[in-house]
């Protein structure tokens, strides 16, 4: 599961509940961290190399006001992937972040019309990448040795800008994430 994406407005409290916000944060950010906590020791005990995959989003790098909870949870997953990768740097366990762009799935089914309207209508709105095309791209990226983030489209741009801006700082700090 890649997560939960709700469209809500903090200026209109009736668009969500505290419980819904907590569920989105738990599903998108807390649960992957707990899974890592429970899984990484096993992966480290294996005699062969292993890969731990985290799913963020192109929206980890581009906060969109329609999704004020989803975007920061996916940014948190990106940050966690970098930190976990650094912690596991000298082990046989590789950490890869899948950062999909806008893909045609049911994730935004409840608010796709609202998203299209917010972008100025059907003619101007960003078109989602087909699921099959994304899966082909993701599988190719996962096969590439040394790949840190598997990205395409605007997620590739966001990850590239992030790496370009923060990579030198991380290197200076001795962080290999």
- Token pair 């505290």: residue: 18
Helix axes 31-45, 70-87, angle to 10 degrees: 20
Q: How far is CA 128 from CA 37, 64, 135, in A?
A: 33, 15, 13
DSSP summary character for residue 64? -
* Spatial distance between the Cα atoms of 117 and 140, rounded to a whole number of angstroms: 34
Q: The tokens 């101007």 sit on which residue?
A: 124
Q: Is 70 a catalytic residue?
A: yes
- Residues shown for the chain: 177
SS3 for 159?
A: helix
The catalytic position among 67, 70, 102, 134 is 70
Report, as residue numbers or ranges, the catalytic residues.
70
């Amino acid at each position: 599961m890649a997560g939960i994406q709700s469209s809500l407005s903090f200026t209109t409290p009736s668009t969500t509940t505290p419980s819904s916000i907590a569920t989105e944060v738990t599903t998108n950010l807390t649960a992957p961290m707990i899974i890592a906590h429970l899984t990484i020791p096993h992966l480290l005990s294996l005699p062969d190399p292993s890969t731990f995959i985290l799913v963020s989003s192109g929206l980890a790098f581009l906060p969109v006001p329609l999704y004020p909870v989803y975007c920061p949870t996916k940014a948190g997953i990106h940050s966690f992937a970098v930190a976990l990768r650094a912690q596991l740097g000298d082990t046989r366990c590789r950490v890869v972040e899948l950062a999909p762009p806008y893909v045609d799935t049911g994730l935004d089914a409840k608010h796709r019309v609202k998203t299209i309207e917010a972008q100025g209508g059907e003619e101007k709105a960003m078109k989602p990448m087909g699921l099959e095309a994304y899966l082909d791209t993701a599988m190719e990226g996962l096969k590439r040795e040394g790949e840190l983030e598997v990205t395409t489209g605007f997620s590739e741009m966001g990850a590239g800008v992030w790496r370009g801006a923060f990579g030198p700082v991380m290197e200076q700090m001795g962080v290999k994430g």
